[in-house]
Amino acid sequence: MNQWQNFSKGLIKDNPVYILLLGLCPALGVTTSAFNGLGMGLATTFVLLGSNFVVSIIKNFIPAKVRIPSFIVIIASFVTIVELTMEAYMPDLFESLGLFIPLIVVNCLVMGRAEAFASKKDTLSAVIDALGMGLGFALALTMLGGLREILGAYSIFGIQLIPGATDGMLVFVLAPGAFIGMGYLIILFNYLKKKTA
């Protein structure tokens, strides 16, 4: 597999959210708007990048039996770094993502990539894998956030699409819309996957 395939697999073919069904909690919880989805996606990408990078470097120094706890510590450190940095420089985004920032630590996607990929491959592959998977995750969250924002508030990234219309179909901003929107996006990605395969 060349590095381009390694990168691009995360976008559609192995999209973490819609194909692998990983990290569904933040994908549903924070995507009330496209901006929040993008912010969460990029925060997760950063954690993924950091943990994949460090894990692939130190993989030979870690005895196999304490591998998982070590990975957990590494991931949790990067999550805390993101948490503190975001609170300092993007307080509004930090507030709207809330609880889901510390919960990146239990996102199966991050642990899964560290265990299944970074601990076996060289550093370059691990970094590219993290970028691809992270951006795939960010893409997924931005799409769901965008869909919910367009239908629920008639706006995208905070820009009104229909002048004067501020209340959209509210159900899409509320909890049920998250589940239903994601259901239909899964159908879309399954279709895209079949097309590109």
Partner 1 sequence: MEYFAIVIGAIFVNNIVLAQFLGICPYIGVSAKVSTSVGMSGAVLFVMTLATIVTFLIYNFILEPFNVTYLQTISYILVISSLVQMVEIILKKVSPELYQALGIFLPLITTNCAIMGVALLTVQNEFNLMQGVVFAISHAAGFALAIILFAGIREHLDLMDLPKAMRGAPAALVVAGILALAFMGFAGLV
Partner 2 sequence: MAKRESNFVNMVVTLFLVTAIASFTLATVYNLTAEPIAQAREAKRQAAISQVVPDFNQLETQMFLPPGGGDSLEFNFAYKDGEMVGVAINTYTNRGYSGEITAMVGLDPQGTIIDVVHLQHAETPGLGDKIQKDKSDWSDQFIGMDPSVNNIRVKQDNGDIDAITAATITARAYCDAIQRAYDTYKKHFLSEQQKQEEDPVL
**Binding-site ranges for partner 1 (CB under 8 A):** 21-22, 24-26, 28-29, 68-69, 72-73, 76-77, 79-80, 83-84, 99, 102-103, 105-108, 111, 171, 174-180, 182-184, 186-187, 190-191
Which of 127/134 has CB closer to partner 1? 134
Q: How far is the CB of 151 from partner 2 (least distance, A)?
A: 11
Q: Which does 8 bind (CB under 5 to 8 A by kind): partner 2, partner 1, none?
A: none
Residue 98: CB minimum distance to partner 1, A: 9
Of 36-95, binders to partner 2 (CB under 8 A) are: 60-66, 69-70, 73-74, 76-77, 80-81, 84-85, 87-89, 91, 95
The answer to whether 123 contacts partner 2 (rule: CB under 8 A) is no
Kindly state the smallest distance separating residue 91's Cβ from partner 2, in Å.
5
d(CA 82, CA 25): 18
The three-state DSSP-derived secondary structure of the chain is CCHHHHHHCCCCCCCCCCCCCCCHHHHHHCCCCHHHHHHHHHHHHHHHHHHHHHHHHHHHHCCHHHHHHHHHHHHHHHHHHHHHHHHHHCHHHHHHHHHHCHHHHHCHHHHHHHHHHHCCCCHHHHHHHHHHHHHHHHHHHHHHHHHHHHHHHCEECCEECCCCCCCCCHHHCCHHHHHHHHHHHHHHHHHHHHHHC
- Least separation in angstroms between CB 108 and partner 2: 21
Residues of this chain that bind partner 2 (CB under 8 A)? 32-33, 60-66, 69-70, 73-74, 76-77, 80-81, 84-85, 87-89, 91, 95, 98, 152-153, 166-168, 170, 173-174
